[in-house]
Amino acid sequence: MAQRPLIEVHSIDYVPHAERHGIVRDLWPVWFSGEANLATLAVGVIGVGLGLSMLWTTIAVVGGCALGTFFMAFHSTQGPQLGLPQLIQSRPQFGYLGALLVWVVALIAYIGYNAFNCVLAAQATRVLLWPGAIPDGAIIFLFSVTALAMAAVGYDWIHRVQRLFAYFMLLLLGVFTLAAMWFIPMPAALLQLGEFRGIPFLVQFFAAAAYQLSWSIYVSDYSRYLPANVGVASSFWWTYLGAFIGGVWLMLIGTLVAAVSPHPDVAAAVKAAADLVHPWFGAVLLGGGILGLVSITGLNFYGASLTLLSVADCIKPQRAGIKGRIITLLLAFAVSLGLALMSSPNFANRFDELLAVLLYLFTPWTAINLVDFYWVRKCRYSVREIFNPRGIYGRWSWRGLVAYALGFASMIPFFSTSHYKGPIAQLLGGADLAMLVGVPVSAIVYLLACRSLDMEKEWAAVEVADRGLEPDAVVT
Structure-model confidence comparison of residues 201 and 130, the more confident one: 201
Amino acid code (one letter) for 402: V
Total domains in the chain come to: 1
Would the pLDDT of 320 be above 80?
no
Q: Over 60: is that where the pLDDT of 64 sits?
A: yes
What does the pLDDT read at residue 323? 87
Q: What digits encode the pLDDT tens for the residues 379-429? A: 999 999 999 999 999 999 999 999 999 999 999 999 988 788 899 988 888
Q: Is 9 contained in some domain?
A: no
What's the rounded Cα separation, in Å, for the pair 227 and 73?
17
**Confidence band, pLDDT 50/70/90 cuts, at residue 458:** very high
Residue 82 lies in a domain: yes
- Residue 473 in this model has a pLDDT that exceeds 60: no
Report pLDDT for 393.
95
Q: What is the pTM of this model?
A: 0.89
Is residue 83 situated within a structural domain?
Answer: yes
Question: 352 falls in which pLDDT band (50, 70, 90)?
Answer: low
475 occurs within a structural domain? no
Residue 32 counted as domain residue: yes
pLDDT, tens only, 136-192: 889 999 999 999 999 999 899 999 999 999 999 999 999 999 988 888 877 766 677
Q: Which of 48-57, 184-193, 268-277, 443-452 has the lowest mean pLDDT?
A: 184-193
pLDDT tens-place string over residues 78-116: 999 999 998 899 999 999 999 998 888 888 888 888 988
Structural domain includes residue 414: no
pLDDT attached to residue 267: 83
Is residue 412 situated within a structural domain?
Answer: no
Q: Which domain holds residue 213?
A: 22-354
Does the residue 395 lie in any domain? no
Q: What is the CATH number of the domain that holds 271?
A: 1.10.4160.10
Q: What is the mean pLDDT of residues 245-270?
A: 87
